[in-house]
Each structure stands twice: as structure tokens, then as C-alpha cells.
Chain A
Amino acid sequence: MPDTLQGIGVSPGLAAGLVVRMGPPPSLPAPRPVADPDKEVAVAVSALETVESGLRERAGAATGEAADILEALAMIAADPTLRQDAETRIRAGADAAHALRETFDGHREALAALGGYLAERAADLDDLANRAIAAALGLPMPGVPSPGHPFILVADDLAPADTAALDPSSVLALVTERGGPTSHTAILARSLGLPAVVGCGGALDLPDGVAATVDGTTGEVRAGVDEQEVAEVRARAAVERSRLEEGRGPGLTSDGHAVDLMVNIGSAADLAGVDLSDVAGVGLFRTEFLFLDRHDAPGLDEQVAAYAEAFRLFERGTIVVRTLDAGADKPLPFLGLPEEPNPALGVRGLRVARDRPEVLDTQLQAIALAAAETAADVWVMAPMVSTAPEAAGFAARARGFGLSTAGVMIEVPAAALRAGRFLDVVDFLSIGTNDLSQYTLAADRQTGGLADLLDPWQPALLQLIAGCAEAGKDSGRSVGVCGEAAADPLLAPVLVGLGITKLSMSPRGLPAVRAGLAAHSLADCRRLAGRALDAGDAAEARAAVLAETT
């Protein structure tokens, strides 16, 4: 008999497959006396071997740079000095878990002290340490799993850092033990178009490898199902998906008001296999991929080639390229930026050009050269802009390289409040809701416990978006949303009701958003927007809109 667990469905859809749990970082139990040191050494060595073989398996399944990184991590786990250190500590009286903790901490400090590239690798050691300690204690492996087959990811809750490591192509559904409708897991699932159930008590007790079904609408999770049920649910899921995908065409409300539906990409590779026939363009082309893990800035020719590759995939629409969004929060060694006590409020985005204007100039020149090579309509925008003169300076610089359409991201409340002035000097605005909510609600994106404040349904955030949209209407210029908010099918009609004309999201979010818009007239959208703006907080805003739409 299958076990039925009940949680809160936060992202619609059905899925069936094998459960793989993601453990939280293991917490160390109190040290215990070691009766048999030889046995304890064997436990520590076996834990390191488990970590090593897991990494080698993943390296074998990966390709290119990812495989190299995993292979290098496997060699760290296999390092004989780790084994020797752990053994020495066990012989001195420590148990295996504590010996591993102390061993990794020692090496971590040594690496961190070396600074730069090696200090960044110190975080890799933390991940290895957590895995080794979990193996020694018999706990589920922490970190996003990568079992080499599609799976249902079961976790306590997902933090923003976990999602960076998530490969959306192999995850069938998300189930979390904790979390609510506003958790990061819920937002992520909707943006990826994955079924998700949160607040599902007992989920973490499911064994790895058990077959389960997930219903992201009703919140029901059934574990221990047979092959027949898996096949049935998959068939129903396929029917549901094709129903959503049949909703073709450009974004339209039920009464024909057009909304540009666009996609967010990080490199040309993200467009592979995506049906672009109904997409109005790329609303956010992140360029960080070219700059990560580099000791030197990529040269002009390398950048031209990479941008042109992406532009060629989309020669009939608009591509909005965001210039490098790095800084103390996303450090790049070659920028040589000093460490900051509060990186989210420090030198990041366009602010980097204050000290290193040549990095921005080279990038703008490369984008202009790549645009000239292709037929794509290329727009550029700068991240982290706070004042109209900053925006004007960026636009002048871009136009100087022949890029005729220049805009800025709206991520800072100061910029949202002055959107009208900004539109006097730039051609368009694109609202990055993730950072705008972090700065508006004063809630750090890295702090998992503040998910409710970071929720894009917060009326204060919606009010700032409304102000930007109004400024766009007054000036006749485009104002879009390119954050996670744009991928929420329930929020999309609200954003359109506020006056937003472009929604840009991960390609997988498109079908549900298209269906969400088609279900409402523009007058409905405006009414829903009014309900959301009148609410006290994000949960109330969502509840008010849900009550109107169901």
C-alpha cells in the first residue's frame, strides 16, 4: 500500500518518479568516547571514499568544465593527507565525525588564508566536509543530489544557494518538509514550471529510491506506488503539459491586449531545444557566464564570438543584453575588488565601472560588434543603477559604441521612485524583482528565514512596479519585468493590470503564464492588481487574487 502524505500544492502539475532526498548540512552530535580506534578510522576512511566515489560518478556523467571541477573535487576527497589527519585525530581520542570536521576545518583555514581563487575553493571544502560527515553519521547526503537519472527532489527546504546547483532538466518535482506558499522553493518551482508540494510532513522520512507521485495542485504525495501508477500519472502529466503547450501564440489577455512574453537566458546553450516561435525575444541575456572562474577578463574577440553565437539563434526578435552583474557579492578574481562587510550594498553591477570602466567598455564594444554581425535587434541594459545621471552615463557610453537602444534595470527603490526621470534619458526599463524586493523590504536574499518578505507579491513591491509602469505609459517607453515574479502564472495578470507590457522568464515558465493571461481580460487584470495593492502583505495579496480567480 502506498503511503499518502499531504502538503501544500504551490506549483501545479503532476509528476511520478524516484525520490532522492537532499539532506540538510549535518549537525554534529556531542563528541562520544571511542572504544575501538581502528573501527573508527575505518568509518572515517569509508566516509571519504563514499564522497570520492559519488563525485567520480557525477564527473563521469558530466561533460566539459563541470566534469573537470567534479574530478578535481574527487581528488581532494581522495587526498591522503585528509586520511592521515583524520586518523591522527581519532588516535588522539576524537570520533570519526568530529575528526573529519576538524580535519576539513584546518585545511579550509589554510586555503582561505591564501586569498583570491583559493579562498573561493574553501567553500568547496565545506561541501566536501558536510558530505563526509553525513556519510560517517549515516545521514542523507547534503547538497543538491545528482543521481544521474530524473528524480523527485525531497528536501527540508531549499535555499537560494541550493537552487544554483539544481539541474532543472533532471528534476521532476520538488517536495519539501517545511516551507509555505511564499518559500523560495515555491517561487523556484513556478519559475521552472515544476510541480511542487511544500510543508509536507514526513517527506524527509521517505527512503531514497522509492517510487512516488506528486500532485502540485492538490498537494498530495503518494510514496511506494507501483509501476502501473507511475505510468498512469506520467500519461496524465503529458496530457496536461500538451494542453498548456497547445496554448500557442503571443501573450494575450482574453480580450486581446498584447503582452510581450520573453525568455531569460544565461548563454546560447539555454536556447537549445526551446521552441522560440511564439517568443517575442530574449528579455534578459545574463553575460556572467563568460566571466566566472577567470583569472583574466575575457578578451574582445572571445566576447564577440560568444555574443554573436546567442544573437544568431534569435535573429527575428529583440535581445536585451545585461552588462556584467558582478561585485563583492559575486566576486570575480580579475576585478580585484576588496572584500566588503555588506556586499549587497557595495560595489556591484554598474558601480564596478567606477573603478574599472575598461571592463564595461570592452563588453559594450563586443556587444556592438556581435550585433553588427547578426540581424538581431540588440538592446543593452546596466544592472544596479541608482540615479538618473548614472543611467544617462551608461546610455551615452552604449550609444558611443553604436548601440542605439540603451536602458537600465530597476533593482533599487531609488530608481523605481524616479522612473519618470530615468525614462527621459534611457530607452527602456526592466524591473529585476528579486533585487528590488530585497532592497525594498530590507531582507537579504541569502537569508532563508525571510522568504515571506522577499515574496514578489509584497504590495510595496507591486506599488513600485506600478509607478514604473505608469512612467512607461506617460513616456511611451517599454517597462518590463524580468525577475522570478514574471514566471508566476497567478501574478502575471496582476503585473499586466499594473501596466507592465513585457514579461521575461525562464522558457519553462512560458506555457503556464500564457494560459494565466489568456484566462483574464485586461479589465480583470486591473481589478486583480487593485486587490493585490490593497492587501496588507504578500500572503494577503495572493489570497485576495486567488479568491477572485477561482
Chain B
Amino acid sequence: MPERTVTIASRTGLHARPAAIFVKAAAEQSVPVRIRVGDGSPVPAASMLAVLSLGAGHGTEVILDADGPGADDALDALVTLLARDLDAEEAADA
């Protein structure tokens, strides 16, 4: 199964706004994507509760996986998102 490892770039970690942006993007992918921290069990990336429960702070490495047609594209899109500081983009988006 394709996997990607990425470090959370957002200053406040994968909470509140960055989590909302990520979960929304995950839900829009053509395949279900899962996310985990280290050896933890993978959880659905489209679930806000599950993503918050990871407690992934700034600098935490997370692993994304997905299966099926389009999996690689989906993972690439989400990895790019997590590698950006989504808090810093707040002002620009507002």
C-alpha cells in the first residue's frame, strides 16, 4: 500500500484550523486516506475527531496511506498540505 511520511509544519500542530483544512481536503480525495503517528493504529483522515485524537503537534512525523486508483495523487496532495504552515496562511485566507 502506498505510504508517505511528512512532518507537521503548522505552528500549532494538527489542531483547530490546520486540522479542519486537512480533514476537508482528505474528504475530497477519490480514495479513503488513513493517517497515523509512529506505530499507532491508522485512523481515517476524513474524520475530524480521529485526526484531533492523534494529538500531532508541530514537528510530529505522521504517516499517510491509501489504496486503490488515484492513491498516489491523493497522498501527494495531502503531504504537500501538511508540509505547509497552515497557521501562517490564516491572514491571507481571511
Hey, which bits of chain A sit against chain B, CB under 8 A?
A: 63-64, 68-69, 71-72, 75-76, 78-82, 107, 110-111, 114, 116-118, 121, 295
Contact = CB atoms under 8 A, between A and B. Distances in A.
Interface in B1-25: 12-13, 15-17, 19-20, 23-24
A80 B33 CA distance: 14
A75 B44 contact: no
Nearest to B19: A72
Contacts of B20: 68, 71-72, 75
Contacts of A71: 17, 20
**Nearest 4 A-B pairs (CB), nearest first?**
A75-B48, A68-B17, A81-B47, A72-B20
Contacts, number: 52
B49 A82 contact: yes
B46 interface: yes
Interface string B25-62: 00000000000000000001011111011010100000
A294 B13 CA distance: 12
B59 to A, nearest CB: 12
B12 A295 contact: yes
A230 B50 CA distance: 49
Interface of B: 12-13, 15-17, 19-20, 23-24, 44, 46-50, 52-53, 55, 57, 90, 94
A75 B23 contact: yes
A76 B49 contact: yes
Tell me whether chain B's interface is mostly helix, strand or loop, or mixed. Answer: helix
Contacts of A295: 12-13, 57
Contacts of B13: 295
Contacts of B19: 72, 75
A76 B57 CA distance: 19
A341 to B, nearest CB: 25
A296 to B, nearest CB: 10
Nearest to A294: B12
B50 A117 contact: no
A78 B19 CA distance: 14
B52 to A, nearest CB: 7
Which of A72, A114, A117 has most chain B Cβ within 10 Å?
Answer: A72
Given A68-B17, A68-B20, A72-B19, A118 B52 contact: yes
A81 B49 contact: yes
Contact of B53 (A80, A110, A116): A110
B57 A79 contact: no
B13 to A, nearest CB: 8
Nearest to A59: B20
Contact of A69 (B16, B24, B94): B16
Given A82-B49, A110-B53, A72 B17 contact: yes
Contacts of B47: 79-81
A111 B57 contact: no
B16 A72 contact: yes
Contact of A68 (B16, B53, B57): B16
Given A110-B53, A295-B57, A76 B48 contact: yes
A111 B48 contact: no
Given A75-B48, A79-B49, A81-B50, 8 more contacts: A64-B94, A68-B16, A81-B44, A82-B49, A110-B53, A111-B49, A111-B52, A117-B55
Contacts of A81: 44, 47, 49-50
Given A68-B16, A71-B17, A71-B20, A79 B53 contact: no
B53 A111 contact: yes
Contact of A72 (B44, B46, B48): B48
A71 B16 CA distance: 8
A117 B14 CA distance: 12
B44 A80 contact: yes
Contact of A80 (B17, B46, B57): B46
Contacts of A110: 53
Contact of B15 (A64, A75, A117): A117
Nearest to A75: B48
Contacts of B49: 76, 79, 81-82, 107, 111
